[in-house]
């Protein structure tokens, strides 16, 4: 990183010089003892004075003990070191040093317009004057992040013997990098990001940045939520006059706007230096609602720092330390580093069988691999794809995608319905080491946009509808069309080619040559394999990352549980399982339905799929199963006969009520209903048959059976405030969060480092199996026979002054009352006086919200055994579309609060 001053004359006029000063007293959250003035030599060799906030100027923390290291925190434009006040207050045994850049905050006004190279050199001089030694973690936001990366690269080169050099004993040791909404590069010739385009216009630049405080006020106005008035005033305090805002103008003017801009070369050097930090711990914290640093900057940082922990704070924006708990995240990350460095012993690794191996082994077979059933209205007939054809097309696509520029580690968003095309392209991506991103279209436009944009794909492979959405909503990635599309759609959506053309390209490359000569090496078993998004039924959908090893173990565990193998095909009306059949060598039958809306599966469509696939097994979501039963009257005699031959009926995605399975037995009398329990993060975890549920009898919650082989299930007990402990137990009768351990547990959540950490924080005695831990977010207990009972979601536990109440048991008892079809137990009011109530659907729906008649209310109170403040009857409870059984209790609770407060016309 060059630190020489820029030789090009700045276009921004110099502001008048002025000495440094201390902040005025009384700024909220700012302790006077933190502030001091420090003299140091700047990048030009001139002696300057900085204002610095320093939590431990003597090098010792509040306990009088030496600090562990220093957090060197750099603000951006137009803020000042006040941005880091919370980190200063909470740092404990870490020293926090947060300077105001020259011409910014309360530091000296130099009378010059400084460039990026100078600011990195300025920081080097200040660090030397501060006498920082030992481990230093540099923390940067906005343009301060660019300076942080420049300083980090310079320190790395100094440590390696190049660049400016000081004796090792006098020098800091770069020990980590933390970045918040910033950039590592800005391609030459591209316009400035977002609102900076307007601010950099020559005629408007001084008007918006220095002559007025419009730029400053705009920055402070885009926080989520809005800043308190006194905090916003504190940010404006150093910039009271046009003269004191000269640095704000100079900072904006220093954003490169063309290839000839004097800072472009320095910024390119920062980008190159960032790649040299591969062995430096890194944390990237991001606010997605940033109009300046958009998703493309985060994707670029992830490419340059692939080892970094990344956490996106959904709902947060540009001024991230004000929008989210950045301080808590940084201190947690530092603590985890200490734990990780103290850990010893290699992690357990299982033998690896690549998921595409079954396709290779069955490549010579003309038996069906995938069977698609389509109604006459949708083109009609049955499409059969043999193992021979599936292997050939997968290999051709793999070769074609690689030639098209899809590289190992790149992400490929797959917006293709389940079937042969999705199967082939999925396994092609896996084979070449690309990372498929799979998000259910049932998330809706908003949820799907959040998932696709957040995952940051390099490529998007989509059917017509997905291509149009990608274009209209600005999803990232080069686009490839799947299925039939017109030339007009290709041009409109910017798609560069079609899957058919990609396969034809691969076929030409493979002609006369072996796949080993054309395809890249097989990916490392511990490289990322896929990002699979959760359903979003209990909160925003999260990207779940699996490695190739974990993906293969997941497929094997599901195959063993659902009893699927090359001899037993499967009708899959549950989209995730349609993807794993080929890894098991099993025929996958896709029925005629809208997979984004499971309740569209009819009894006739299921029967037709059973006939077409010659399969005796079916996997349905609860919503699919419910609609099959609701439409059974329309079956023909032949279709009834086909369903009567089903021997295995599986349903998952949510705990399945035994009544639903009992009714299914009437339609499929030979079937053995089973219900695997798990989640996108670990599936399966337990398994149970209808007979086992009936044998277990009545209990508190829904019985989901015993752990499948290789899985350990324990309980994190609930505290009085409804939180779950880190310590877990395997004792019967203890209610708490369900915690699972297995080799096929997810690797991590994508760009949700804090969420992943929370899901894996477990303190457990030894001897409880192997693999990773996952806290499911479900609440339940183990019984004396080791069976798991689910009592609801941790977020839906009701905490009252009398104790903790889990919802499922009372809801089941309420639903046993004549006339009640479905019930939700929620709480209203402050915790100390929180009241319980039931909101229910009638068996015969009501047209509007009413209070239950006294006899019905008394019956519900008696059945639940709870002192309910009310029983409200509603036309319908809000449930997720995918499972049709997961009630949004949080939404019901918020609605009930408003209704009982007397608000009229409140919609549920």
Q: What is the CATH number of the domain that holds 802?
A: 3.30.300.30
Residues 186 and 113 in one domain: yes
Is 78 part of any domain? yes
Q: Are residues 442 and 494 in the same domain?
A: yes
Same domain, yes or no: 259 and 386: no
Please say which residue of 289, 308, 338 terminates a domain. 338
Residue 64 lies in a domain: yes
Of 496, 498, 501, 452, residue with least CA distance to 472: 452
96 strand-pairing partners? 71
Per the CB < 8 A criterion, the answer to whether 174 and 156 are in contact is yes
**pLDDT of 643:** 94
pLDDT at 345 over 60: no
Does residue 196 surpass a pLDDT of 90?
no
State residue 572's pLDDT score. Answer: 85
824 within domain boundaries: yes
Quote the CA–CA distance of 97 and 317 in Å, as a whole number. Answer: 24
pLDDT of residue 380: 65
Same domain, 438 and 575: yes
Residue 674 counted as domain residue: no
Indicate whether 344 pLDDT > 50: no
Find the mean pLDDT for residues 602-611: 93
Residues 178 and 298 reside in one and the same domain: yes
Instruction: Please state, in angstroms and rounded to a whole number, the distance separating the CA atoms of residues 351 and 299.
Output: 32
Task: Give a yes or no: residue 11 inside a domain.
Answer: no
Structure tokens given for 172: 């800091």
Tens-digit pLDDT profile for residues 140-192: 999 999 999 999 999 988 877 654 444 444 578 999 999 999 999 877 667 77
Q: For residue 506, what is the domain's CATH number?
A: 3.40.50.980
Q: Which two tokens stand for residue 159?
A: 């440590």
Question: Using one digit for the tens of pLDDT, what is the confidence trace for 87-106?
Answer: 999 999 999 999 999 999 99
And the tokens for 165? 């050099």
Inform me whether the pLDDT recorded for 582 exceeds 60: yes
Q: Which domain holds residue 732?
A: 682-794
From 277, 307, 338, the end of a domain falls on 338
Identify the CATH number of the domain in which residue 205 sits. 3.40.50.1820
- Where is pLDDT greater, at 4 or 758? 758
Backbone region of residue 516 per phi and psi (left: phi > 0; alpha: psi in -120 to 50; beta: other values): alpha
Which phi and psi (to 5°) does residue 678 adopt? 175, -155
Based on the domain organization, do 329 and 371 belong to the same domain?
A: no
Average pLDDT of span 490-502: 94
What is the tally of structural domains in the chain? 4
DSSP-assigned states of every residue in 120-184: HHHHHHHHHHHT--EEEEEEEETHHHHHHHHHHHHHHHHHTT-SS---GGGSEEEEEEEEES--S
Residues sharing a CB contact under 8 Å with residue 203, sequence separation 6 or more, in sequence order: none
Residue 585 located in a structural domain: yes
| Cα dihedral sign, 448-449-454-458 | positive
In this prediction, residues 741-766 reach a mean pLDDT of 94
**Residue 788 and residue 852 in one domain:** no
Element (H, E) at 206: helix 205-206
Residues 852 and 744 placed together within one structural domain of the fold: no
Stretch 851-862: mean pLDDT, rounded?
Answer: 95
Cα–Cα nearest to 770, from 687, 680, 709, 726: 709
Which of the four pLDDT bands, split at 50, 70 and 90, describes residue 350?
A: low
- CA angle 849/851/856 to nearest 5° reads 125
> Which pTM value belongs to this model?
0.90
Q: Does one domain contain both 724 and 822?
A: no
Instruction: List the single range of 69-73, 260-264, 459-463, 826-830 with lowest mean pLDDT.
Output: 260-264
Tokens (6 digits) for 548: 């190739």
Domain annotation covers residue 425: yes
Could you say which of 743, 777, 794 is where a domain stops?
A: 794
β-strands 411-415, 459-462 pairing: parallel
| Residue 857 and residue 753 in one domain | no
What pLDDT band is residue 346 in, cutting at 50, 70 and 90?
A: very low
Looking at the structure, tell me whether residues 754 and 805 fall in a common domain: no
- The answer on pLDDT for 747 being more than 90 is yes
Are 311 and 186 in contact, with CB atoms under 8 Å apart? no
Those residues whose C-beta lies under 8 Å from the C-beta of residue 273, and which sit 6 or more positions away, are 1, 149, 150, 152, 153, 154, 156, 157
125 shares its domain with 234? yes
Specify which of 112-126, 572-586, 866-880 reaches the highest per-range mean pLDDT.
Answer: 112-126
Backbone phi, then psi, for 671, in 5-degree steps? Answer: -75, 145
pLDDT bracket for residue 7 (50, 70, 90): very low
Length of the chain measured in residues: 908
Orientation of helix 387-404 relative to helix 499-510, angle to 10°: 90
Q: Which residues of 642-660 are buried (b: 16+ CB within 10 A; e: fewer)?
A: bbebbebbbbbbbbbbbeb
Instruction: List the strands of the sheet with 282-286, edge to edge.
Output: 35-41, 47-54, 94-99, 69-74, 134-141, 172-180, 282-286, 309-312
Task: Read off the CATH number of the domain in which 737 is found.
Answer: 2.30.38.10
Q: Give the Cα separation of 675 and 686 in Å (integer).
A: 9
Q: Average pLDDT of the chain?
A: 89
Q: Please indicate, yes or no, if residue 441 is contained in any of the structural domains.
A: yes
């Amino acid at each position: 990183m060059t630190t020489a001053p820029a030789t090009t004359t700045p276009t921004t006029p110099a502001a008048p010089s002025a000495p440094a000063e201390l902040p005025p007293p009384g700024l909220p959250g700012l302790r006077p003892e933190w502030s001091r003035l420090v003299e140091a030599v700047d990048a030009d060799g001139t002696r300057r004075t900085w204002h610095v906030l320093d939590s431990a100027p003597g090098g010792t923390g509040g306990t009088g003990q030496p600090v562990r290291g220093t957090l060197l925190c750099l603000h951006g434009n137009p803020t000042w070191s006040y941005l880091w006040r919370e980190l200063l207050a909470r740092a404990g045994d870490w020293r926090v040093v947060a300077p105001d850049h020259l011409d910014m905050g309360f530091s000296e006004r130099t009378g010059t317009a400084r460039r990026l190279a100078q600011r990195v050199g300025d920081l080097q001089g200040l660090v030397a004057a501060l006498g920082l030694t030992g481990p230093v973690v540099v923390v940067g936001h906005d343009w301060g992040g660019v300076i942080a990366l420049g300083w980090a690269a310079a320190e790395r080169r100094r440590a390696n013997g190049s660049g400016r050099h000081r004796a090792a004993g006098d020098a800091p040791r770069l020990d980590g990098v933390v970045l918040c909404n910033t950039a590592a590069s800005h391609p030459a010739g591209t316009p400035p990001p977002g609102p900076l385009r307007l601010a950099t216009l020559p005629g408007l630049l001084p008007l918006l940045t220095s002559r007025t405080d419009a730029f400053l006020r705009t920055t402070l106005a885009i926080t989520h939520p809005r800043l308190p008035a006194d905090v916003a005033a504190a940010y404006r305090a150093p910039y009271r006059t046009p003269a004191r805002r000269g640095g704000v103008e100079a900072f904006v003017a220093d954003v490169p706007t063309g290839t000839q801009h004097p800072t472009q070369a320095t910024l390119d050097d920062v980008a190159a230096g960032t790649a040299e930090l591969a062995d430096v711990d890194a944390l990237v914290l991001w606010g997605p609602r940033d109009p300046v640093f958009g998703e493309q900057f985060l994707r670029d940082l992830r490419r340059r720092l692939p080892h970094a922990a990344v956490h996106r704070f959904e709902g947060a924006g540009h001024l991230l330390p004000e929008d989210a708990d950045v301080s808590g995240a940084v201190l947690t990350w530092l603590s985890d580093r200490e734990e990780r460095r103290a850990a010893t012993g290699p992690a357990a690794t299982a033998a690896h069988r690549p998921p595409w191996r079954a396709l290779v082994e069955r490549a010579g077979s003309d038996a069906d691999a995938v069977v698609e059933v389509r109604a006459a209205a949708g083109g009609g007939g049955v499409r059969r794809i043999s193992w021979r054809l599936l292997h050939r097309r997968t290999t051709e696509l793999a070769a074609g995608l690689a030639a098209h520029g899809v590289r190992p580690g790149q992400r490929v968003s797959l917006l293709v319905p389940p079937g042969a095309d999705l199967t082939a392209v999925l396994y092609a991506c896996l084979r070449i080491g690309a990372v498929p991103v799979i998000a259910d279209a049932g998330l809706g436009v908003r949820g799907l946009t959040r998932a696709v944009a957040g995952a940051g794909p390099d490529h998007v492979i989509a059917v017509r509808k997905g291509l149009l959405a990608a274009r209209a909503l600005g999803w990232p990635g080069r686009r490839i069309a799947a299925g039939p599309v017109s030339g007009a759609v290709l041009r409109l959506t910017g798609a560069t080619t079609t899957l058919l053309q990609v396969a034809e390209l691969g076929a030409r490359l493979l002609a006369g040559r072996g796949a080993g000569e054309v395809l890249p090496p097989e990916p490392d078993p511990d490289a990322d394999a896929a990002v699979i998004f959760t359903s979003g039924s209990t909160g925003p959908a999260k990207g779940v990352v699996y490695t190739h090893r974990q993906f293969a173990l997941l497929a094997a565990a599901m195959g063993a549980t659902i009893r699927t193998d090359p001899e037993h095909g499967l009708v899959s009306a549950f989209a995730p399982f349609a993807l794993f059949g080929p890894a098991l060598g099993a025929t996958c039958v896709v029925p005629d339905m809208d997979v984004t809306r499971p309740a569209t599966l009819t009894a006739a469509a299921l029967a037709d799929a059973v006939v077409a696939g010659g399969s005796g097994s079916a996997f349905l979501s609860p919503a699919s199963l419910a609609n099959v039963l609701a439409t059974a009257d329309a079956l023909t005699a032949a279709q009834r006969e086909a369903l009567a031959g089903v021997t295995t009926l599986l349903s998952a995605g949510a705990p399945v009520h035994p009544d639903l399975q009992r009714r299914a037995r009437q339609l499929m009398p030979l079937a053995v209903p089973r219900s695997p329990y798990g989640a996108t993060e670990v599936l399966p975890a337990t398994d149970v048959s209808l007979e086992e549920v009936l044998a277990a009898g009545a209990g508190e919650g829904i019985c989901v059976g015993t752990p499948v082989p290789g899985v350990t299930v324990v309980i994190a007990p609930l505290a009085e405030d409804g939180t779950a402990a880190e310590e877990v137990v395997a004792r019967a009768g203890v209610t708490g969060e369900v915690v699972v351990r297995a080799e096929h547990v997810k690797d991590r959540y994508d760009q949700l480092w804090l969420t992943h950490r929370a899901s894996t924080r477990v303190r457990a005695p030894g001897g409880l199996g192997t693999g990773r831990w996952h806290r499911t977010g479900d609440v339940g207990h183990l019984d004396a026979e080791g069976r798991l009972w689910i009592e609801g979601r941790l977020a839906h536990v009701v905490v009252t002054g009398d104790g903790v109440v889990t919802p499922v048991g009372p809801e089941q008892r309420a639903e046993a009352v004549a006339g009640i079809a479905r019930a939700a137990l929620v709480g209203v009011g402050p915790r100390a006086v929180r009241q319980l109530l039931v909101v229910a659907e009638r068996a015969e729906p009501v047209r509007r919200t009413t209070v239950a008649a006294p006899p019905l209310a008394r019956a519900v109170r008696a059945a639940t055994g709870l002192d309910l403040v009310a029983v409200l009857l509603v036309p319908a409870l809000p449930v997720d579309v995918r499972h049709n059984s997961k009630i949004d209790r949080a939404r019901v609770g918020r609605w009930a609060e408003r209704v009982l407060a007397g608000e009229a016309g409140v919609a549920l």
